[in-house]
Structure 1
Amino acid sequence: MYYAHTTENANKSDWQTLKDHLESVAQISSGFADDFGSGRIAYAGGLLHDIGKYSGEFQNRLEGRRIRVDHSTAGAVEAKGLYNPSLSRILEYIIAGHHGGILNYGTPESGLECRIKNAVLHDYSAYKYEVEPPDLNSFNPTLVCSPTKPGFTISFYIRMLYSCLVDADSLDTERFANPEKSALRGKYESFESLFEKFENRMRDISLSCEDTPVNQSRNEIYQECRRKAELKPGIFTLSVPTGGGKTLSSMAFALLHLKKYDLKRIFYVIPYTSIIEQNAKVFREIFGSGNVLEHHSNYDPGKEGFEDVGDFNQEDMLKLSSENWDMPVVVTTNVQFFESLFSNKRSRCRKIHNLSGSVIILDEAQMLPTKYLKPCLSALSELVRNYGSTVVICTATQPKIGDFLDEDIQPVEIMESPKELYEHFRRVHVNNLGDISDEELSERITGHHQALCVVNTRKHARLLYQRITESEISKDDGSCFHLSAGMCPVHRREQLEKIRSLLKEGKPCRVISTQLIEAGVDVDFPFVYRARTGIDSIAQAAGRCNREGKRDLGEIFVFRSTEDYGKATSWQSRTAEIGEMIFREFEDPLSPEAVSEYFKKLYFNEGDEGLDKKKILLSLEKRVGECAFPFGDVSDDFRIIDENTKDIIIPFDDSARKAIKEIQKIGFPENYGRKLQGYSVSVYPHEFKALNESNALELIADRYYILTSESLYSEKTGLLRISSDEFNGALLIA
């Protein structure tokens, strides 16, 4: 008898047999891959993935002998002998990498080729008496290759099959080792039920809304999205001005489209966690907490106050679904979504097969990272072309993406007349202030009852805020607020609640912020100032002005700071230069024609290389004839977030301090680590070095750096900007 997994019982009566494990993984993996016509090859991968465990040496290891056994290469070697080179190569990748990640194909000296060529394996031939790999001679993947990027199509297919295998392997192992945990999966409602909930909520909203011109236009957008949901799956664009209600309208499209074409899930992909928290809350209120997964680095489901439902806990269920995105509605970030699609790691790849046959909504699509624009669009194209998914690209400032897509995958605009829609929702007038000092800028801001000013750097935001709060006019009367990424998320949320309350009550409110307030944060100011930057960012700032149309026109003032610390830097500088051109060429720099021209110039300025900075697409085409792909290199290269930063934890409130004490007490994070996710601030290496060398940080659980100096974190502006220069042993605050 051969076994896959053990229990504490020495008599082996309840150990999982290897045959049962292989057959179960094969069936689960095959079921996943059936969604894209590849159940047979996925079944073969499932049967072969652990055949190395048929060796006597591995069985001895299960019985307690401390020996190292390579059990994952055996299935890859066997596949090489069983199947034709094209199919065997696919299986080699997914089987050999089912624990450590998909390898680069590499060379005879390194990578997958080296591993198979030089494998030293124990005798595993006993597998032939228990399992029989399927005949794949007549199997051909039903792939439609990209006419310009066949290597991308094939490598993407390998990732999807890999996802099916590792998720199936994880699920079957969990079912054996932890049946109570496994039983929590899939405890969500049907889409029939969710559709009914959505219809009821929209009916209630319709009855409670005032019959204003803005609400009439929102309803027209909503109805148009419902009508276009009848169109066949593909890539769609949804060009709706800020305030047009695209969140609920795009969800209406997704639900009706899913219903008509029998799709499986809805993914809502958003650039910033601030928007995710807002939208996920809306969706939970409509569909119920147990049907919506909010998945990003700062999310703590424990803070939602979930209750036990019957014999299971919703919080535990959501934690499990974050592993493989098995949930009707998933709200996640650009980082989670795209880095998973380009990763070679088991944990990240595990979930991507569930994107097959789904509706994927990209909100604020202008925030797609320019240096990865072509790889991102290629991935979306593959999901549509070969995996039965529909993609909806939503934005108020629609980048012209059709030029970067293959001819067989071209977007369809959902709105009939985006230009007329823009004019109807036009609620702001854009003023060009030209050069302006902080002294004059602060006087202008304090001269308004309510105003928002968005600048390009943390330093500018902090110094401008300090100038205003120290002025004779304001005298720090509690009407001025600062927002930046130097404040931990919990701190920012508290400030935003105060801001919204003052705005609603009509009280004085002036906010100085970095660009984090621009994307989807629901605030409404009569006057907005924006430091010169790209047109897309100016349009986003304009979305915080006269948002509800309470005035004929709100006023946007675009300015160029004369302060050295107020100048745009690096990427912002390039987009600002192109923005300057648009201001010169168009009377209304936010019109659809102006925005289209802005993106045209931006993409032309970046060139082909700038839209695929790490040459990811090129690397996948170099050895496509050999099916030799650099999976590991691509995974390392595709990083939306600059990893050259470190997170430090701010003991901002009692909840944070309690979690820190618990971790210090038990010595490892356990569930407390998740509770700290809303209290982190990212710092650059020189800042981290300065903090660490001055004993302002404490490392706990070998993982979390805690800020121990209260004087370095302000309740007004967050973490003070510091340098590593020392004066009498003290940090210099810049």
Structure 2
Amino acid sequence: MYYAHSTEQADRSDWHVLQDHLTKAAALAGTFAERFGSSKAATLAGLLHDLGKYNPDFARRLEGAPIRVDHSTAGAAIVRDMAKGDDGLIAELIAYGIAGHHAGLPDRLGDVASLESRIAGFDHQTLDPIWRTEIYPDATGLLPSFDWQKDRLAFQLSLLGRMIFSCLVDADFKDTEKYYASIGDLTVDRDWPFLQEALPRLIAGFDRHMQSFGRQESGINRLRSEILDHVRAKAGDKPGLFTLTVPTGGGKTLASLGFALDHARRHGHRRIIYAIPYTAIIDQTARIFQSLLGEDIVLEHHSAIEMETLDAARPPEGKGKLRLAMEDWSAPVVVTTNVQLFESLYAARPARVRKLHNIAGSIIILDEAQTLPRPLLTPVTWMLEALARDYGCTIVLCTATQPALDKARFPAGHPTGLDLQSRELAPDPARLAAALKRVTLRHGGAMTDDDLIADLAGTAQGLVIVNSRKHALALFRAAWAAGLDGAMHLTTRLYPAHRRDVLDRIKQSLANEAPCRLIATSLVEAGVDLDFPRVWRAEAGLDQIAQAAGRCNREGKRPPAESLVTVFSAPVNPPPREIAALSRDMARMMDKHEDLFSPQAMADFFGEVYWRVGADGLDAKKILPDFRIGSGMTNFAYRSVAEKFRMIDSTMVPVIIARDELAREAVKRLAIKEIPSGKLARQLQPYTVQIPSKARARLQSCGHVSFIAEKFRADQFAVLQTASLYDPEVGLLWEDAEYLGMEDTII
């Protein structure tokens, strides 16, 4: 008898029978793929994924022999031989997935780790023929009935391959987890309720919450009620792509949630995924949703805690693999980031791709859609279109500054646009923009830090937004040195739980009319609910200027003429090259519009940007050409694409800051092998700061950061050891990693 996993029991009485694992994983994978019509393909992947364990050498390895056995290539080689015709293309997709179910999806061609090289080196004689009497794979009828697009066939197939891979990986994880839990070697992570079963109480709770505000007949609240009613009335519209264009302060977050709940009830969607550009506001949104819907409904997942290095020759197996497993997004409502969503959709690693099949049949709300990175915009829009067309998703592009992605705005044949005609959810965006105009925009010209400090000194409450963490830190220190009362600092140097506390202090100061001078980066522009009487914004694109203006006179309680948004240049701290280019794009179209914050002005601005960048610049990393079909065969560079598709150019990695008791206790639990890493990562994600990978490496080499429980959790959990490097006012200071923390230099 052959086994999939073993224990210390010499009599093998509790070993995991291979036939049992393959058939159960296959059934589970097939169930996961039902939503997109690929059950047969996913079932076949599940049946063959561990076929290489029918190798007698693998059996000896389980018994303790010090030998290495590649058990992931056998199924990939066999499945390609089994299928013919159109089924052959799908069999190739399955082969990528089987070959990569431990180390990650490979490229078709390339080095020794490529799919072609591995299959070419596979020896069929290593398999015991008994496998044919224990499992019965069917390689017919594999092609799903998609609306196949001739010009996007390769892309559609590449995404299908990743989705089948997701079903396989999650099924393999879950069946293996169930086995180890049954023998007491592992605790199972939480189970979530189904959205459709919970919807009646969720909608009832949402209605009660909205009714508690009453129906005021004047001002902003009347407009918010009108927007909510109009948006919810559109919930019966056909699923697909939508826009929701609501000025800042118009209540679009709750309106989009109300639409999603009603739309899911009408059309049977399985979950709601709310994607946000920055981790800075994910806490705020998650807290709102959890208070409305319940903590048992909402998963907050933004952490990049995962294994950074992976030895393809010795990928983790069994319990080791399970301890590295991350979220599967089976929650009814997921609040995440654009980075987590889109980098997962283009990922190759099992831990990241595992959740993708749960995106099928979801409502995806992209909050602050204007922040989608332009160098990746075409791969992003192709992905959104495919999810809507082939995977039953509804996509809502939700923002005050709509990025003009309607294909009617692009030249004929341009690859980037989406079909968004007549798909606006809000009532008359132009009228709403005029009705919710609450600020006066002025240009301050060049301003030094001393000029900004002097302006801040002249107002009790003011917000300055700059383009870098470095400038924000320098300006905050200048404000502190000048003795400005109520000076505060808010950037991604602070871990999320700390940012939440700072935001609460800011809101309390604003409400009490106490001094509050906030210096921040652009993280405050995307949905952070702040209301300052004055705002200064370093030069940027029109969309960012408009978002900054949304933090000024947000509730409309002050005259617009007195609510000034000053745009300035900072000669000593010039903007990054891309932001400088966006500022020039804005300058070219400024004279065309009386109101620069109108929807038409915003559309013209993005038109300027797309014209400047050109079609090639919207797929600057050449993602789409890496998926090709020729001579009836696929040539997909999954691994290479995953390495290139980065929404943030510099590789950012997490450092855990265990300053409070909850974080310290979670760090201690890392030493308990039986607790899944995904559960601990969920607890620790509010305590992480993302920093450049090179900076973390320096911190580690100097002894300021250590990987905890590295023996069985690998390099997933990097924890700050030098507490003084985390300043309670400004956050993590990593730039001088070669030097000891300040308190450690005192003799």
TM score, norm. by length of structure 1:
0.88
Tell me how far apart the structure 1 counterparts of residues 256 and 377 of structure 2 sit (CA, whole Å): 22
- Separation in 2, partners of 1:322, 1:227: 37
> Alignment partner for residue 266 of structure 2, among 260, 269, 293?
260
Matches within 5 A, 1:530-569: 530-553=537-560, 555-565=563-573, 567-569=574-576
The CA distance in 2 between the partners of 1:108 and 1:686, in whole Å, is: 26
Mean Cα displacement is larger for which, 73-82 or 630-639?
73-82
CA contact (8 A) 2:4 2:53 kept: yes
Q: Does 1:115 align with 2:118?
A: yes
Q: Does 1:217 align with 2:223?
A: yes
Report whether the alignment pairs 1:586 with 2:603: no
TM-score (norm 2): 0.86
Distance 1:723 1:322, change over 3 A: closer
The alignment partner of 1:220 has SS state of: helix
Name the Cα RMSD after superposition: 3.3
Q: Which amino acid aligns with 1:125?
A: P
Q: Does 1:297 align with 2:303?
A: yes
Equivalence for 1:633: 640
**1:413-562 matched pairs, under 5 angstroms:** 413-471=424-482, 475-477=483-485, 479-553=486-560, 555-562=563-570
1:172 is matched with 175
CA distance in 1, matches of 2:696, 2:8: 46
Of 228-237 and 407-416, more deviation after overlay is shown by 407-416
> Secondary structure at the residue paired with 1:481?
strand
- Larger mean CA deviation between 636-645 and 230-239 belongs to 636-645
Distance 2:667 2:351 in 1: 27
CA distance in 2, matches of 1:164, 1:354: 9
Distance 1:552 1:352, change over 3 A: same
Do 1:104 and 1:630's aligned partners in 2 also have CA atoms closer than 8 Å? yes
Q: Distance in 2 between matches of 1:647 and 1:160?
A: 27
Q: Distance in 1 between matches of 2:669 and 2:112?
A: 48
Instruction: Give the aligned partner of residue 243 of structure 1.
Output: 249
Q: Which letter does structure 2 place at the counterpart of 1:539?
A: A
Q: Distance in 2 between matches of 1:48 and 1:661?
A: 39
Deviates more, 1:279-288 or 1:441-450: 441-450
Q: Which moved more, 1:46-55 or 1:638-647?
A: 638-647
1:143, 1:231 → 2: CA distance? 21
1:508 aligned partner, one-letter code: P
How many residue pairs end up in the alignment? 704
Aligned residue for 1:15? 15
Task: For 1:112 and 1:390, locate their aligned partners in 2 and report how far apart those are by CA, in whole Å.
Answer: 34
Residues 76-116 of structure 1, C-alpha deviations (whole Å, 9 max, x = no match): 22212221132332222122222221111105966111211
Report the counterpart of residue 92 of structure 1 in structure 2. Answer: 95
Taking a change above 3 Å as real, the CA distance of residues 8 and 458 of structure 1, as seen in their structure-2 partners, is closer
Counterpart mapping for 1:298-317 below 5 A: none
Partners in 1 of 2:121 and 2:269 — Cα distance? 44
Corresponding residue for residue 106 of structure 2? 103
Residue aligned with 1:238, SS: strand
Q: Distance in 1 between matches of 2:128 and 2:452?
A: 75
User: How much has 1:353 moved relative to structure 2?
Assistant: 0.6
Q: Which amino acid aligns with 2:227?
A: I
1:186 equivalent in structure 2: 191
Greater CA drift, 677-686 or 421-430: 677-686
What SS does the corresponding residue of 1:550 show, helix, strand or coil? coil
Separation in structure 2 between the aligned mates of residue 396 and residue 462 of structure 1, nearest angstrom: 29
Higher mean Cα deviation, 218-227 or 11-20?
A: 11-20
Q: Which runs of 5+ in 2 are unaligned?
A: 307-322, 408-413
Counterpart of 1:271, as a letter, is: P
Alpha-carbon spacing, 1:3–1:685, altered in 2? closer, same or farther (3 Å) = closer
Deviation at residue 207 of structure 1 after TM alignment? 3.5
Q: CA deviation at 1:275?
A: 1.6
SS in 1 for 2:509: helix
Residue 347 of structure 2 corresponds to residue 339 of structure 1: no
Structure 2 equivalent of residue 206 of structure 1 = 211
Residues 479-488 or 354-363, more deviating = 479-488
Deviation at 1:279, TM superposition (A): 0.9
Distance 1:18 1:696, change over 3 A: closer
8 A contact 1:265–1:328 mirrored in 2: yes
State the percentage of identical aligned residues: 39
1:399-423 alpha-carbon deviations (Å, 9 max, x no partner): 0112366788446111241101111
Q: Which of 720, 732, 735 is matched with 1:706 structurally?
A: 720
Distance in 2 (alpha carbons) for counterparts of 1:295 and 1:431: 39
Of 517-526 and 432-441, deviating more is 432-441
Moved more, 351-360 or 70-79: 70-79
Q: 1:518 to 1:299 in 2, by over 3 A?
A: farther
Gaps of 5+ in 1: 301-318
User: In the TM superposition, what whole-angstrom CA distance separates every residue of 1:26-64 from its partner, at most 9, and x where no partner exists?
Assistant: 111111112111111222222222222223322232333
- Structure 1 stretch 358-367 or stretch 621-630: which is displaced more? 621-630
**One-letter code of the match for 2:357?**
H
Quote the Cα distance in structure 1 between the aligned partners of 2:697 and 2:159. 40
Give secondary structure in 2 for the equivalent of 1:420: helix
Cα shift readout 1:248-280 (whole Å, capped 9, x = no counterpart): 111111111111111211111111112211111
Residues 1:131 and 2:135 aligned together:
yes
Equivalent position amino acid for 1:199 in 2: A
Mapped to 1, the partners of 2:56 and 2:699 lie a distance apart of 54
Structure 1 residues 675 and 133: CA distance shift in structure 2, 3 A: closer
Matched, 1:387 2:391: yes
Tell whether 2:153 aligns with 1:145. Answer: no
**Larger RCO (CA within 8 A; separation ≥ 6):** 2
Matched position secondary structure for 1:14: coil
Letter of the 1:214 counterpart = I
Measured after TM superposition, the shift of residue 194 of structure 1 is 3.5
Task: Name the counterpart of 2:82.
Answer: 82
Question: 8 Å contact 2:699–2:738 — kept in the other structure?
Answer: no
Query: What are the within-5 Å matches in structure 2 for residues 592-631 of structure 1?
Result: 592-621=599-628, 623=630, 625-631=632-638
Residues 441-485 of structure 1, C-alpha deviations (whole Å, 9 max, x = no match): 3222221122111122333323333333433xxx343x2212223
Q: Could you say which residue in structure 1 is the equivalent of 2:358?
A: 354
- 1:46-85 mapped onto 2 (5 Å cutoff): 46-84=46-84, 85=88
Q: For residues 285-319 of structure 1, what are the alpha-carbon distances to aligned partners after superposition, in whole Å with 9 as ceiling and x for unaligned?
A: 1221111111011899xxxxxxxxxxxxxxxxxx9
Match of 1:32 in 2: 32
Shift of 1:654: 6.1
Query: 1: distance between equivalents of 2:689 and 2:214?
Result: 40
Shift of 1:161: 0.8
1:524 positional shift: 0.7
**Rounded Cα–Cα distance in structure 1 between residues aligned with 2:53 and 2:546:** 59
CA change 1:688–1:347 in 2 (3 A) is closer
Alpha-carbon contact 2:283-2:500 (below 8 Å) kept: no
Residue 624 (structure 1) shift: 8.0
**How many angstroms apart in 2 are the aligned matches of 1:193 and 1:700?**
40
Q: 1:176 to 1:699 in 2, by over 3 A?
A: closer
- Alpha carbons of 1:485 and 1:187: their partners in 2 closer, same or farther (altered >3 Å)? closer
Deviation, 1:537, is 0.8
Provide the rounded CA distance (Å) in 2 between the counterparts of 1:196 and 1:649. 37
1:143–1:386 contact (8 Å) kept in structure 2 = yes
Which deviates more, 519-528 or 127-136? 127-136
Choose 166-175 or 435-444, whichever is displaced more: 435-444
Supply the AA of the counterpart residue of 1:634.
Answer: V
